[in-house]
Amino acid sequence: MSPTVTITLDPAFRIAPVRPRTFGSFVEHLGRCVYTGIHEPDHPTADEDGFRTDVLELTRELGVTSVRYPGGNFVSGYKWEDGVGPVEERPARHDLAWHTTDPNTVGLDEFMAWAKKAGVEPMYAVNLGTRGVAEAVDVLQYANAPQGIALSDQRAANGHPEGYGIRMWCLGNEMDGPWQTGHKTPEEYARLATETARAMRQEDPDLELIACGSSSSSMETFGAWENIVLTEAYDFVDMISAHAYYAEHDGDQGSFLASAQDMDYFIESVVATADHVRAKLKREKRIHISFDEWNVWYQKRAESRPPSGDDWPVAPVLLEDHYTAIDAVVVGNLLISLLRHSDRVASASLAQLVNVIAPIMTEPGGRAWKQTTFHPFALTARHASGEVLRLAIDVPTYENARFGQSDLADSVATWDEESGELTIFAVSRATEGDLDLAVDLSAFGDLELVEALTLHHEDPYARNSADAPDTVAPQANDTVALEGGKLTAALPAISWSILRLKRA
């Protein structure tokens, strides 16, 4: 007999509205993300600005709403001025973070042109590793200020008379990490971030500013870092960042499938710390989370090892993980966690968009194709709407090495009262056999089943490729039935499902 997962849903049990910015992504000057990723002037599909239109089409299909740029570790040694003005006059620079050379062919103006074509909101990160307050204000004025001052006039002379109106700004990147160029103690970073934020708000008080939080929940400074930074910067920032990457280690599928358990812990710990600072400082506003780097990433594989020695290549193959069915299920579950915390996670960015630990892959001069992880992201971005619901779930548990005990399934639902659309997202963490799903929907009245799709493969390590791009893709789940306000389904082992219903 299969284990049973029982869920009860009610439209009154609401967490928060679905936030469009949950479905953000990330473009960094790393590996082939920019060069031969979004930008390849000699490609057959390239437009007049050198952007690959096949990648633009896939970006829109993915449902990306915002994109963080230009890094990442890259930004902590980046001089934004190198990437503006006549391309032939731009200097090539060594990137210390990834031991490569950046030709600066693509910079702020090119990225903003790409963002407009892609229909995404930009999130811009400033360098607080090797630079500081003055440079942050300079790039803000170049990007946003109306003509009439030196930097905005420089932008206009470069062909962009109107300001870009960038609202979201990251105050550095992973400054808690010893690997970061210009790594700071929490006290050093708190002071620098506060003074940078104060100056940027003098230029524009309506910006949304994001302080650096912890680079993972396993950092020794996790919790203490957020406390120190927010105690200093609370009045000047709107969000604090969180970064997390997950991978399967030594064949431990059970721990890997429960990765969202760590994301839940990460988010709830940062919320607790932020609210502690709020109480301590006696403030009314709440600090939200920008989970602006998250994904599956196999950091110990050879493809994640940067060049070394005298080798400083331009756009090498780097961090090009090829994702499997089980990776896609975990990505789908991480999205469930982000949605479940929509009351406090105001923004998130899947890292990254193209080639580098990415849902979209390209061949230089050739094809673009979808990795397995493309599908849960695209379907969640397309169909999560209205309000995120708090569900009651009764689910068996299983033992694993990392967490001890974890739920055998995870789920979240969204309800769009205006359109009458109810969408349930569910994962099975079982490594063998089906799970029986039973959902009580009687509180919604008459519903009809619109679509039921499940991403699953008999081989959890099956992958997509340019030659076989649909090896792992969602398929119709014909076990789903709806009768008398009760929905039933069989969820196969290691699977992610989307169940769409609508008011009859």
Q: Is 196 within 8 Å of 136 (Cβ atoms)?
A: yes
Q: How would you class 467 by CB atoms within 10 Å of its CB: exposed for 0-12, middle for 13-18, buried for 19 or more?
A: exposed
Which amino acid appears at position 126 of this protein?
V
Half-sphere exposure of residue 102: CA atoms within 13 angstroms, side-chain side: 27
Paired tokens of 191: 């002071």
Which amino acid appears at position 379 of this protein?
L
The number of angstroms, rounded, from the C-alpha of 55 to the middle of its chain's C-alpha atoms is 18
- Whether the pLDDT of residue 288 is over 90: the answer is yes
Paired tokens of 244: 């997390």
pLDDT in tens, 197-247: 999 999 999 999 999 999 999 999 999 999 999 999 999 999 999 999 999
409-435 average pLDDT score: 98
Domains, the chain, with CATH or none = 4-10+388-503 (2.60.40.1180), 19-383 (3.20.20.80)
- Whether the pLDDT of residue 115 is over 90: the answer is yes
129-155 average pLDDT score: 98
Average model confidence (pLDDT) across the chain: 98
9-24 average pLDDT score: 98
405-409 average pLDDT score: 98
Paired tokens of 308: 């070394």
Paired tokens of 47: 């437009």
- Please name every residue paired with 451 in a beta bridge, in sequence order, or none if there are none: 500
Paired tokens of 34: 């920019």
166-191 average pLDDT score: 98
- Please name every residue paired with 14 in a beta bridge, in sequence order, or none if there are none: 389
Which amino acid appears at position 339 of this protein?
L
pLDDT in tens, 73-106: 999 999 999 999 999 999 999 999 999 999 999 9
pLDDT in tens, 236-262: 999 999 999 999 999 999 999 999 999
Rounded to whole angstroms, how far apart are CA atoms 189 and 209?
A: 15
Altogether, the residues listed in the chain come to a count of: 504
Rounded to whole angstroms, how far apart are CA atoms 72 and 50?
A: 23
Identify the pLDDT of residue 153. 98
Q: Which residue among the candidates 174, 226, 387, 421 is catalytic per the annotation?
A: 174
Which residue matches tokens 């934020």? 197
Identify the pLDDT of residue 181. 98
Rounded to whole angstroms, how far apart are CA atoms 239 and 210?
A: 5
Q: Is 289 within 8 Å of 240 (Cβ atoms)?
A: yes
Rounded to whole angstroms, how far apart are CA atoms 242 and 475?
A: 33
Non-local CB neighbours of 102 within 8 Å, separated by 6+ positions: 29, 74, 92, 93, 94, 95, 314
Percent of the chain residues topping a pLDDT of 70: 100
| Gyration radius from the chain CA atoms | 23
Q: Is 328 within 8 Å of 296 (Cβ atoms)?
A: no
Paired tokens of 428: 């099975």
- Whether the pLDDT of residue 303 is over 90: the answer is no
DSSP symbols for 246-269: E---TT-HHHHHTHHHHHHHHHHH
Closest CA to 237 of 281, 270, 273, 286: 286
- Whether the pLDDT of residue 62 is over 90: the answer is yes
pLDDT in tens, 359-398: 999 999 999 999 999 999 999 999 999 999 999 999 999 9
Q: Is 174 a catalytic residue?
A: yes
Which amino acid appears at position 475 of this protein?
Q
DSSP symbols for 150-166: HHHHHHHHTT--S----
Q: Is 418 a catalytic residue?
A: no
pLDDT in tens, 440-493: 999 999 999 999 999 999 999 999 999 999 999 999 999 999 999 999 999 999
- Whether the pLDDT of residue 68 is over 90: the answer is yes
Rounded to whole angstroms, how far apart are CA atoms 206 and 208?
A: 7
Residue 405's SS3 state is strand
- Whether the pLDDT of residue 302 is over 90: the answer is no
Beta strands in 368-428 (DSSP E): 368-370, 387-389, 392-394, 397-400, 404-407, 409-416, 421-428
Residue 143: which pLDDT band, with cuts at 50, 70 and 90?
very high
Residue 1: which pLDDT band, with cuts at 50, 70 and 90?
confident
Helix or strand (DSSP H, E) at 293: strand 288-296
Paired tokens of 296: 């599956």
Q: Which residue among the candidates 226, 293, 387, 421 is catalytic per the annotation?
A: 293
Identify the pLDDT of residue 151. 98
The vertex-266 CA angle with 262 and 270, nearest 5°, equals: 170
Identify the pLDDT of residue 400. 98
Percent of the chain residues topping a pLDDT of 90: 98
